[in-house]
């Protein structure tokens, strides 16, 4: 139990991180990633101290060239005097929980200057990721990094959500692989604020661009800002040759300016908070439900369902009443 006079260990690390000590930032990220009470403490400490850092999501299919593009963007941002951080999220093996995180390779080399790159494995907990990522982004923002970029593989709802709750979301597709169609199916079109057709020197790049234009034409809902009359721009780039990063970043910055000019930035952030609160409530409730089911009364209910005396739906309603009455 903390007293007024002694700082908790987490508070002490936070102080060092806020002062710019990289090692402390690294430690805080491990704490939020592990979850639990200490992670909640970090969340308390960073809440409201994240300043105005621009949160940018970058997502797309595996092999679309996201980390190369991210590396180019980071180099460009540093050259413009920015202090960027990157959170690179990669899947853990569902079998062993282990992961190989190799995204630094293509960023490190470019990341001269004050750049912070952190690799994060999904650790098989989709719910955990939905909490750990926003918490990690807040740590990086609170440590003074701006912009803060989160890069995820655009497969799976949680990854899409994570990227999609950024201030600005960049969706990367490549020519010739049906990537545009796949991106549409994966729900990436709905979250895209900026499209990048990477490897634009490849044959089929202009076809891919046309596919995207067509899908944008057909979709009344495409882009979070479609209702406000904004159509996501499509940038052609070739990250491997270092071409297009400047243009991509210009569109990202323009999108943020547009959000601010149209009073939509706060709305974005509110919906992000709402999403996070919702995930947290779900997690809390999940634990409560498990406890209820394990209790004798819960066990009785389950037995009745198994014996055919009670329908699952009726049992669930009873349990919810118990849950609401519990506090």
Partner 1 sequence: MTEPNIRILLAKLGLDGHDRGLKVVARLLRDAGMEVIYLGLRQTAESIVAAAEQEDADAIGLSMHNAGHLTLAPRMVAALAVAELEIPVIVGGIVPDEDVAALRDAGVAAVLGPGAPAEEVVDVVRRAVDQRRSTG
Partner 2 sequence: MSAMDGDDRSRWSKAYEGAVLRDVPFETMSGVPVEPVYGAGPYPGQYPYTRGVHPAMYRSRLWTMRMFAGFGTAEDTNGRFKELLHHGGTGLSTAFDMPTLMGHDSDSGWALGEVGRAGVAIDTLADMRDLFADIDLATVSTSMTINGPAPILLAMYIAVAEQTGVERSALAGTIQNDILKEYQAQKEYIYPPRPSMRLVTDMMRFTTAEMPLWHPVSISGYHIREAGSTAAQELAFTLANGFAYVEAARSTGLPVDDFAKRLSFFFNAHIDFFEEIAKLRAARRIWARWMKERYGATAERSLLCRIHTQTAGVSLTAQQPEINIARVAIQALAAALGGTQSLHTDSYDEALALPTEEAARIALRTQQIVAHETGVTNVADPLGGSAYVEELTDEMERQAEAIFAHLDELGEGSILEGVYAGIENGYFVGEIADAAYRFERGVNDGQRIVVGVNAFTDGDDPENRNLLRIGPETEDYQRKRLDAVKADRDGQRVQDTLAQLTSDAADPTLNLMPPILDAVRAMATEGEIVDALREEFGTYVEKAVI
Q: In the stretch 289-318, what mask flags binding to partner 2 with x, by CB under 8 A?
A: ------------------------------
72 binds partner 2 (CB under 8 A): no
Look at residue 224 and give its three-state secondary structure: coil
Other C-beta atoms lying within 10 Å of the C-beta of residue 256: 21
Residue-wise over 17-46: b if at least 16 C-beta within 10 A, else e?
bbeeeeebbebbbebbbebeebbbbbbebb
Tokens of 257: 């300016």
Q: Find the binder of partner 2 among 103, 161, 179, 225 (CB under 8 A).
A: 103
Out of partner 1, partner 2, none, what residue 169 binds, judged by CB under 5 to 8 A for its kind, is none
- Does residue number 136 form part of the binding site for partner 1 (CB under 8 A)? no
Query: Is 109 one of the binding residues for partner 2 (CB under 8 A)?
Result: yes
- Footprint on residues 69-108 left by partner 1 (CB under 8 A): 92-93, 96-102, 104-105, 108
User: Of the candidates 22, 49, 231, 320, which one interacts with partner 1 according to CB under 8 A?
Assistant: 22
By the rule CB under 8 A, 19 interacts with partner 1: no
Q: Tell whether residue 63 is a contact of partner 2 (CB under 8 A).
A: yes
Residue 12 touches partner 2, criterion: CB under 8 A: no
Nearest-CA neighbor of 273 among 180, 115, 135?
Answer: 135
The answer to whether residues 34 and 129 touch, using CB atoms and an 8 Å cutoff, is no
- Closer by beta carbon to partner 1, 73 or else 88: 88
Give yes or no for residue 68 binding partner 2 (CB under 8 A): yes
Residue 51 backbone class (left: φ over 0; alpha: ψ -120 to 50; beta: rest): left
Q: 59 vs 92, which CB is nearer to partner 1? A: 92
Report d(CA 204, CA 236) in Å as an integer: 12
Alpha carbons 216 and 189: distance in angstroms, whole number: 8
* Distance of alpha carbon 58 from alpha carbon 242, whole angstroms: 17
**Which of partner 2, partner 1, none has residue 122 at its interface (CB below 5 to 8 Å by kind)?**
none
Is residue 34 a contact residue for partner 1 (CB under 8 A)?
yes
Give, for 151, the enclosing helix (H) or strand (E): strand 148-153
Which chain residues interact with partner 1 by CB under 8 A?
22-23, 25-27, 29-30, 34, 36, 92-93, 96-102, 104-105, 108, 116-119, 121, 123
Which residues are near partner 2 by CB under 8 A?
Answer: 63, 67-68, 100, 102-103, 105-106, 109, 203, 240, 242
């Amino acid at each position: 139990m903390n007293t007024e006079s002694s700082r908790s260990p987490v508070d002490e690390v936070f102080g060092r991180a806020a002062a710019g000590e990289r090692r402390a930032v690294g430690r805080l990220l491990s704490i939020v990633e592990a979850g639990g009470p200490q992670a909640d403490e970090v969340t308390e400490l960073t809440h409201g101290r994240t300043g105005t850092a621009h949160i940018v999501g970058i997502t797309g299919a595996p092999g679309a060239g996201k980390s190369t593009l991210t590396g180019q963007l980071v180099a460009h941002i540093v050259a413009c005097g920015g202090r960027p951080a990157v959170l690179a999220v990669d899947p853990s093996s569902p079998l062993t929980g282990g992961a190989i995180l190799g995204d630094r390779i293509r960023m490190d080399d470019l990341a001269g200057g004050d750049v912070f790159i952190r690799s994060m494995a999904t650790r098989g907990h989709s719910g955990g990721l939905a909490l750990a990522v926003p918490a990690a982004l807040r740590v990086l923002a609170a440590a003074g990094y701006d912009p803060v970029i989160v890069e995820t593989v655009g497969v799976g709802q949680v990854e899409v959500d994570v990227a999609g709750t950024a201030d600005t979301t960049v969706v990367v597709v490549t020519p010739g692989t049906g990537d545009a169609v796949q991106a549409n199916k994966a729900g990436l079109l709905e979250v895209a604020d900026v499209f990048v057709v990477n490897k634009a020197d490849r044959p089929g790049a202009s076809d891919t661009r046309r596919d995207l234009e067509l899908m944008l034409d057909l979709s009344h809902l495409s882009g979070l800002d479609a209702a406000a009359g904004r159509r996501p721009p499509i940038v052609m780039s070739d990250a491997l040759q270092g071409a297009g990063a400047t243009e991509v970043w210009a569109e990202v910055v323009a999108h943020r300016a547009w959000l601010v000019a149209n009073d939509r930035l706060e709305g974005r952030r509110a919906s992000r908070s709402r999403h996070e609160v919702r995930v947290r409530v779900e997690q809390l409730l999940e634990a409560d439900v498990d406890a209820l089911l394990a209790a004798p009364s819960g066990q009785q209910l389950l037995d009745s369902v198994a014996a055919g005396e009670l329908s699952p739906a009726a049992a669930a309603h009873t349990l919810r009443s118990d849950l609401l009455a519990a506090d």
